[in-house]
Structure 1
Amino acid sequence: MQYKNLGRTGLKVSELTLGTMNFGNVTDETTSYQIMDAATDNGINFIDTADVYGLPQSPDIQQGNGLSEEIIGRWLAQSGKRDQIVLATKVYQPMGLGPNDRRLSAYHIRKACEDSLRRLKTDRIDVYFMHHIDRLTPWEEIWQAMELLVQQGKILYVGSSNFAGWDIATAQEMAKSRHFMGLVAEQSIYNLNTRTIELEVIPSCRYHGLGLIPWSPLGGGLLGGVLKKASEGRRASPGMMKQIQQHASQLQAYESLCEQLNEDPADVALAWLLHQSVVTSSLIGPRTVEQMQKMFRSVEIKLAPETLKQLDEIWPGPGGEAPQAYAW
């Protein structure tokens, strides 16, 4: 396992980040412990969760239950590994039915942080991510709340998730005016099939010194060898079947290339992300210990320049960075 600085900070994190959205939802507590043990035993030192995790994730979710954080907290207390890991969680999503039980008001940030610390059984959150942009709360209020948490030692760094390039720039300029470090990392959806952030988010991360942590590196399973699995009799969901039909020729070319490389498609997809210079660490979300163990192969794969070119031809991005991607 290799370690990289998280953005412009001096903090070293592993190339793979253990995402825990499945804990308490599709993965039971015992298996969650085993996954965390396997991850840390193999060099992963970055564990990511969110206060809302532990329930099936959907746009109409009314409130989270903090179960993923509670599972991690009990594991931390049992394992004694707290000081061996970089622990991240998130704030924004609804954690109650009240009008102030969500978003990024100073009121909610303070309460959400205290609740996360209690569930995680720890005295600090190493990287506190804003799960989404809040366009109804001014940056003066958000940064004041985050600065206070840093002063109190309850959080060390602040990150963003699902921000636009413009949001990152605005946040950083306001932080700079307050002599505050501001954002150090961004979590965005990014994979071979979903490359929109190459237009503006990645250039913004590079300019402002944020480490990029992609989520959904396998495109919801699309890049994990779906054609081979279908040929073996594995049934896909209606949504996945639609994607397979939409990307049939690309998938055929992609899985053929992976076969030529003698590598699993999932490992190649992860390896491609780790070859992108702005990517610090890729989120992985295994449901089982077996899935966890298989993902370690990705950090060992070295993709040749010609292979990277072939992958770009199969899965073309938006054409580069804005505005050169669409204007002369």
Structure 2
Amino acid sequence: MKVRRLGRTALQVSELCLGTMNFGPLTPRQESFDILGDAIAAGVNFIDTADQYGGRLGVGATESLLGEWLAEDRSRRDRIVLATKVHEPMSEDINDRGLSARHIQRACDASLKRLGVDHIDLYQMHHIDRAAPPEEIWQAMDRLIAQGKITYVGSSNFPGWAIAGFNEKAAASHRLGLVCEQSLYNLVERRAELEVIPACQAYGVGVIAWSPLAGGLLAGAPTEPNGRRAGEQASEGARAHAQRLADFAVLCAGLGRSPGVVAIAWLLHQPGVTAAIVGPRRRDQFASLLKASELVLEEAVLSRLDAIFPPCGPAPEAYAW
């Protein structure tokens, strides 16, 4: 498994990041543990979760499951870069959500307890909170860093202007600032190329791509949807992109590779990308996608992929002149 620097930091992370959103509600406990073990054996050292993950089992369930896995063998903690997130509602309490300094402190303490660890390597803001001033957020993050509870701060689902603004505020106070942005990015959804990825490159922020298979569209067929709405969205996506997906399938067949492997390998060839998040539901899915780290795509193949799934183009030329 190849490793890359996390943004401009000296920290080395595997270019495939194991996403755990399915662990617990969709992937049974033992199979989740098996996937985690397979990841470590394959050289994956980057594991991502969030305080809200848990689905039908309730918020926090996935962090608790990870905590049980870590407790089985305490040496595992030192072998992984552990990332979690804060922002999403954790209860009906109006203050048990968002990015207020109060919630950040309390949410971090709760995550540490569920995970059974004394520190989190990467603490990410799960979404932008327009009501929270950056100064308040950085004050809370500084406190957590001083307490030894977190090491790095990242964002997720942030627009380019917020990435720039947060890092300018950080630089003014001689802070390290944001080190990575977890963004929706795949062959079907390339809007991150307009503003988000250029902002990340300008500030030395690593891009962690989530939904690399576009909800299963790029895996050759939609994955089992979680609920009726998700199933309808997957069907609509398949219809909207039918010709592109058919052309993509032909290209992958010519390469002798599965569509999912090619889609993730494409991400790993994109400028600014540190890692792609692989969020399997089953052990066999994870095993098959590990091959993406080994696949080198030639320029001719990358050009064909751009022809099938056209890039947005640079901003503002893509929407102005």
**TM tier, smaller:** over 0.9
1:45 aligns with 2:45: yes
Given that 1:64 and 1:94 are in contact with CA atoms closer than 8 Å, whether structure 2 keeps it comes out as: no
Pick from 231, 236, 243 the counterpart of residue 237 of structure 2.
243
Quick one: distance in 1 between partners of 2:133 and 2:19? 29
1:326 Cα deviation from its structure 2 partner: 3.0
Q: Which residue of 2 aligns with 1:233?
A: none
Q: What percentage of residue pairs aligned between the two structures are identical? A: 53
Partner SS state of residue 47, structure 2: strand
Q: Which residue of 1 aligns with 2:30?
A: 30
1:315 Cα deviation from its structure 2 partner: 0.3
Q: What letter corresponds to residue 149 of structure 2 in structure 1?
A: K
Instruction: Tell which deviates more after alignment, 113-122 or 76-85.
Output: 76-85
Pairwise CA RMSD: 1.5
Q: Which residue of 2 aligns with 1:211?
A: 206
Q: What letter corresponds to residue 77 of structure 2 in structure 1?
A: R
1:245 Cα deviation from its structure 2 partner: 1.7
How many residues are aligned here?
314
Q: What letter corresponds to residue 132 of structure 1 in structure 2?
A: H
Q: TM-score, normalised by structure 1?
A: 0.93
Partner SS state of residue 281, structure 1: strand
Q: Which residue of 2 aligns with 1:326?
A: 319
Q: Which residue of 1 aligns with 2:277?
A: 283
Q: TM-score, normalised by structure 2?
A: 0.95
1:182 Cα deviation from its structure 2 partner: 1.0
1:128 Cα deviation from its structure 2 partner: 0.1
1:28 Cα deviation from its structure 2 partner: 1.4
Structure 1 gaps, min length 5: 57-62, 230-235
1:96 Cα deviation from its structure 2 partner: 1.5
Pick from 95, 99, 104 the counterpart of residue 99 of structure 2.
104
Superimposed CA distance per residue, residues 91-112 of structure 1 (whole angstroms, 9 cap, x where no aligned partner): 0001121111000000000000
1:154 aligns with 2:141: no
Q: Which residue of 2 aligns with 1:169?
A: 164
1:325 Cα deviation from its structure 2 partner: 2.3
1:120 aligns with 2:118: no
User: Where in structure 2 are the equivalents of 1:1-328 lying within 5 Å?
Assistant: 1-55=1-55, 65-80=59-74, 81-226=76-221, 237-318=231-312, 320-328=313-321
Superimposed CA distance per residue, residues 141-175 of structure 1 (whole angstroms, 9 cap, x where no aligned partner): 10000001001110000000000000101101111
1:64 Cα deviation from its structure 2 partner: 5.1
Given that 1:164 and 1:201 are in contact with CA atoms closer than 8 Å, whether structure 2 keeps it comes out as: yes
Quick one: distance in 1 between partners of 2:212 and 2:73? 29
1:246 Cα deviation from its structure 2 partner: 1.3
Partner SS state of residue 263, structure 1: coil
Structure 2 gaps, min length 5: 224-229
Given that 1:51 and 1:64 are in contact with CA atoms closer than 8 Å, whether structure 2 keeps it comes out as: no
Partner SS state of residue 226, structure 1: coil
Quick one: distance in 2 between partners of 1:28 and 1:244? 28
Q: What letter corresponds to residue 17 of structure 1 in structure 2?
A: C
Q: What letter corresponds to residue 208 of structure 1 in structure 2?
A: Y
Partner SS state of residue 222, structure 1: helix
